[in-house]
Structure 1
């Protein structure tokens, strides 16, 4: 399944030079040839909501590893054992599933998005969480449950592998 590149959430921010795939490209942070080597935290990110939107923009464009990195900062800052932390972990797992799908590894991808759905169900059991997305937790679980097991052909270009968007509320 190949889905066309989608409208940008932050069109003024340049996307990375490549969407990282392990073994295919230089590691973005550890390798001197990486697209984010020695950059540290992005200076254009000034608040947690910026990290959230930037992660969503990356995810929607097929930059799954990079989205994971943006959302990991939010996960680390969230309180231990909170619905917020579970929610961010679910997004991170979805992004990891995107990497695995792009690598042509449907089984590991399935494990990741299955764990993402389990985290979201735990969010529901704890009374829910205002996600800041246009999708509710329940709707996101339904989208995850419908992820096809077909993997796209490997490509050097970013590939969108999910049929749904991660859209922060109030953004198109």
Structure 2
């Protein structure tokens, strides 16, 4: 179990850590190689990531599911001033950065409902939901779905940036988020990946700054 956990939490490879230093459009967060860090290190990761249509058990409905009979707690709504205290937000970021895209999507969807879709924070979470959906579509080998969700996420982040008139929101810079959405929509992805094995498929990490101390 220890070796499996270490494998899940290992630092990204050089290709994942760095963009092109010659490309001035690449955010500094990517150029300087942001170090991977678990935001909620004490939280247990699922034993697999659900990939719809691949044969993995549905986490809640299937008795073999990793969260069967574990009713998710209702999260507190996300507030910009207290984002570092919102465990649901941080847990979903951990899921996303470790390649648990279905679980990140599920966590952010519940956070969206708790926050309210008509709020600025809710709109921000909606963009994250779409980024997680793009990750799911990579695992489903639906490149059209990847591009559609990633492009939609970029539009949402642009709207939040314009309305908030800030460089970052809930710890994440809009430059990084826009880069992430654009890159996700442009990349080619591997196929025939092992069902259920969590795998980071994007060349960026969503690590908020400052990293919360929890």
The alignment's C-alpha RMSD in Å is 2.4
Q: Is the 8 A contact 1:106 1:149 kept in 2?
A: no
The answer as to 2:49 corresponding to 1:11 is: no
| 3-state SS in 1 of match to 2:42 | coil
What is the aligned length?
168
Deviates further, 82-91 or 55-64? 82-91
Q: Which residue of 1 aligns with 2:134?
A: 97
Rounded Cα–Cα distance in structure 1 between residues aligned with 2:159 and 2:76: 30
Change (3 A) 1:121 1:46: closer
Structure 1, unmatched stretches of 5+, are none
Query: Where in structure 2 are the equivalents of 1:35-46 lying within 5 Å?
Result: 35-42=66-73
Picking from 35, 42, 52, the partner of 1:22 is 52
Q: Is the 8 A contact 1:97 1:108 kept in 2?
A: yes
Q: Which residue of 2 aligns with 1:62?
A: 99
Q: Is the 8 A contact 1:59 1:67 kept in 2?
A: yes
Q: Which residue of 1 aligns with 2:63?
A: 32
Change (3 A) 1:127 1:78: same
Picking from 141, 149, 155, the partner of 2:187 is 149
Q: Which residue of 2 aligns with 1:168?
A: 208
Structure 2, unmatched stretches of 5+, are 1-11, 17-35, 79-85
TM-score calculated relative to the size of structure 1: 0.85
CA drift at 1:7: 4.0
CA drift at 1:128: 4.2
Change (3 A) 1:47 1:126: closer
TM-score calculated relative to the size of structure 2: 0.70
CA drift at 1:111: 0.3
Larger RCO (CA under 8 A, 6+ residues apart) = 1
Query: Where in structure 2 are the equivalents of 1:87-126 lying within 5 Å?
Result: 87-126=124-163
Change (3 A) 1:7 1:155: farther
CA drift at 1:145: 1.1
